[in-house]
A and B are shown apart, each in its own frame.
Chain A
Amino acid sequence: VDERAPCDVTAIITAHNEGPLIGLSLRSLLDAVDFARQSGLEVEIIAVLDNPDDSTRVAMADAAEHGCRVVEVAYGDHGLARNEAIRLSAGRYLAFLDGDDLWSENWVVDAFGVCETDPGRVIAHPAINWIFDNGSYCYFLPDQTDPAYDPAFLRVANSWDQLCMAPVEVHRAHPYHRRELDRGFAYLDWTWNLETIEAGLMHRTVPETLHFKRRRATSQFTQARANRSLPFPSAMHDYAWWAAHEG
């Protein structure tokens, strides 16, 4: 049993083979955590390194000096590594950051504010995903409360990635799947979004917040796409679900 004192937010960084780039991500995470602490939030920091290569392990060697608890696991699976982070967390809300991405400084505090508008029911996403490196573009994430947003969109395309802030009980009730690329099922974030919407949770965006996401040729998304993967089957793929929820 983890006896650490509960806190408001657990900031989680996950990594595998990012090497020194994880330092940039940790720098950005620490800035956002400092900003949140200045606003009175209690925040813990966990880094989960899943089968890390040497350069990533070396890059994180001094992370504890920055108040970051570093945990190594050997799942070789993004979803399972996240589930381990969830298990270790003491925060009421969990915020994930990939080991080569960055948060805007206001992310933790502003996302916490949006989550607290309806505690336990809201999953917060940044307003903007700023994709950089190997081509730039901006993705403005939709807010589920926008009347123009139709969740049916999720049947054919994803709306939100995993770098959200969500209540810990939501994560525990909806753990991530293990990727099954050989069976053609991947897109853990898309699957998680389907499951959480089915469960009645609300995906909201946090105004004037950004995630800076590095585009990598070997990203999980790229692999899944090349593999013609689909999200795991979900009730929302079934017309009967829509008939039952019509109107």
Chain B
Amino acid sequence: MRSIRRRGRVAEKVPAADPRVALEGLLPEIPRDRIGEVWSRLRACTHPRFYAAQLSAEELAPYGGRLDLDSTVAHYLAHGARAGKRPSVIFHPQTYADRLAERGLRLPDGAVPFLHWLSVGWDARIVPTPLFDEAWYRKKHPQIVRAWGFAQYVDRGLYEPQWRPSPLGRHHAGMSVPNAAQEHAPLLLPEMLHRAADHDLTRTSWLEEGCLRALETCATLRSPRVQDLIAKAAAIEPLIEEGVESGLAVTCPPYRAPRLFMAEQAEALRRRVGMTHVDTVVVVPDLTAATIAGVAGQLAAALREAEPAASVLLAAADTAAETEADASRGAATSAVPGLPPGIDVLDLGPFAVGFDEERRVDLLLDLVRGLTARRIVTAGSRVGWRLLAAYGRQLSTAASLGACLEPPERTEQGNLVGFAVKEFQEAFADLDWALVTTAELAADLINRYLLSGSLRQRLVTAYAEDGTSDADGSARQIEAAAVKRIVADGERREEQQRG
């Protein structure tokens, strides 16, 4: 009975009482007429997903596992403040304490550091995070009119990719995310939550630790010895010091570097995959039932049947995930309904949180090279097409490249969608074969591109006839002859390479 009550108490939603009253209670020394100002700052600096990452599943359950801004603020004031939780990505407690000390100040006994900053540190323009450099920000963004650049960063810079908060970089891939500002979801969140299990997020994070180490490393630039060496070199070549006054960007692996996060994710993916070789990788957009039932899933199954000893992996490259905590579903398994046994599937989405397309392509490149795939096929995946367009030349030296082409369709808005025309044009020279789903499409390609005999031979027609199903209503299946051709082409190519 007691345990039930205890569980019930933890799982309760925060009472509907005015959270401002709770704020007043936590800031007894602040004049009442200033509470509204602090309240506004609190809301501006609160980041629900970051705060939620510090709560247990049980604590989140009453909120359906997801907090919004109001519930985050209310929960923080009711529980989190006293429990030492951090509601904000731009507040690093140790940095705040250090910067207070630099000014000869300290936190009063019993004060909640974050609330102290909102009510005292903010007015003193103390930047409480290693992620941001006020002088740098002002130099790089002279258009900012607000007296304190950090306040602008809190309101806009966190959510828009063009703002560079520090010489150490943007702390994200530079991609804009829809509704980031409305949802108080800073673009740096993926890096802030990276390896969350390895860090006490109430105190620090992978991103902040990296920045702190990088800043320590950068401090060597100010040593008298290094300054002397720079001056001597500049005495020979004055251009060395030109432009330094406008701020010197810094790259500092393994602590901060543009592709560091991507490299971390590539390695996490390798560990998660748990395999060292796959014969065929079929790159698909997602692992939905439609994809599995479509030409990609059928091709994978047919290849598996044609080469029972050869492994096949369906890799979903276009999916989106909110957090890398979802990475567990990225495990290579064969648990997808509709696929015959022996075909592994992998979702790259959880390993590509916050990635732009270039990084997604590079993640996929690392995977197919890592698995030494001897056949790489893209089937409806935008990222897969980009992979072949960008790196088809290099990949074709070690693997047979193929693609599935489905006819373009016109949307209700009149837009033409289908296989990626530009990428097809860039990649076709490196493809050994292209599986076309209709004879009409093959004829169209032959006609428009005036395909020569040898290029024409690369087109393999998947189905005997058009239509979505056979006459008896069953889903149509890829012709065995088409798959035999693909397999035979691969064998011939491997023989040539051996020769």
Contact = CB atoms under 8 A, between A and B. Distances in A.
A130 B217 contact: no
Interface stretch (A57-65, A74-82, A91-99, A132-140): A132-140
A2 interface: no
Contacts of A137: 248-251
Contacts of B255: 148
A104 interface: yes
Interface stretch (B232-240, B313-321, B323-331, B473-481): B232-240
B230 A238 contact: no
A183 to B, nearest CB: 6
A153 B233 contact: no
Interface residues of A, number: 48
Contacts of B277: 239-240
Nearest to A138: B250
Count chain A CB atoms within 10 A of each CB in B239, B242, B255 and give the residue with the most.
B239
B263 A212 contact: no
Contacts, number: 152
On chain B, which size bracket covers the interface? 35 or more
Contacts of A210: 226, 229-230, 233
Given A137-B249, A149-B253, A230-B394, A157 B370 contact: no
Contact of B263 (A148, A156, A183): A156
Interface in B250-296: 250-255, 257-260, 262-264, 266-267, 270, 273, 275-277
B301 to A, nearest CB: 25
Contacts of B230: 104, 130, 210
Nearest to B255: A148
A136 B394 contact: no
A15 interface: no
A228 B392 CA distance: 10
A237 to B, nearest CB: 5
Contacts of A106: 229
B366 interface: yes
B263 A184 contact: no
Contact of A159 (B214, B253, B390): B253
Given A140-B252, A142-B254, A157-B259, A212 B240 contact: yes
Interface in B205-253: 213-214, 217-218, 220-221, 223, 225-226, 229-230, 232-233, 236-237, 239-244, 248-253
B242 A212 contact: no
A171 B417 CA distance: 52
Given A102-B237, A156-B259, A228-B391, 18 more contacts: A104-B229, A104-B233, A128-B221, A136-B243, A138-B251, A140-B218, A142-B253, A152-B267, A153-B253, A153-B254, A184-B394, A208-B229, A210-B226, A214-B239, A233-B394, A238-B276, A239-B276, A239-B277
26 contacts: A31-B232, A102-B233, A105-B233, A106-B229, A128-B220, A132-B243, A133-B242, A136-B242, A136-B244, A137-B249, A138-B249, A138-B250, A152-B266, A155-B366, A156-B366, A157-B259, A184-B393, A208-B225, A233-B369, A237-B369, A237-B370, A238-B370, A239-B275, A239-B277, A239-B370, A239-B371
